[in-house]
Amino acid sequence: MAPIPHRARESRSDRLARETHVNVLLAANRFSDGMDQVCREDGISQAQYVALWVLCLSDDAEAGVPMGSLADGLITRASDTTRLVDRLESAGLVERLPNPADRRGVLVRATAEGAAVFSRVTPRLKAYHRSQWADLTADELEVLHGLLAKALLGDNAAARSATA
């Protein structure tokens, strides 16, 4: 029988990095599931809510938002934007308009029903967000926000996110 090769122990920094990664994934999945549950009460997905959020809170919501700008504001991949808008349009929550500044482009804006759904879901999502962070103080949440931004965006992330 061949001897079992000696396994190197995982270093403390490697273990911490792995455990942090797993905790971020678990938290993201749990929080995403919670958001989906809140959104489903009004028959929309989390991705559809985020699209309505971008459209309803844009600088000129009445004029509409170019499809590319909508894609930039979404959490999902930009390639999914057209299908997402298709589903929202089929549900009567958004409409496409010609873009007067770009004959090849279209603008997307929330319909009255889309704005109503956004207005109904938003207070429940705000309550959900308050509950998901209820075990953290405001200072702890601020630190977590800065650290996650730094991990995602680099060293100047905290400064950029504080001014956003």
pLDDT along the chain (164 residues), means of 10: 71 92 93 94 94 94 90 76 94 95 91 97 96 96 93 70 56
pLDDT at 157: 55
| 142 found inside a domain | yes
**Residues 51 and 94 sit within 8 Å (Cβ to Cβ):** yes
| 13 found inside a domain | no
Give the CA count within 13 Å in the CB-facing half-sphere of 80.
11
In a shared domain, residues 66 and 106: yes
Structure tokens at 77: 């991949």
Task: Please give the residue range of the domain that contains residue 51.
Answer: 25-121
Q: How many domains does the chain have?
A: 2
In a shared domain, residues 72 and 137: no
In a shared domain, residues 75 and 113: yes
pLDDT at 131: 95
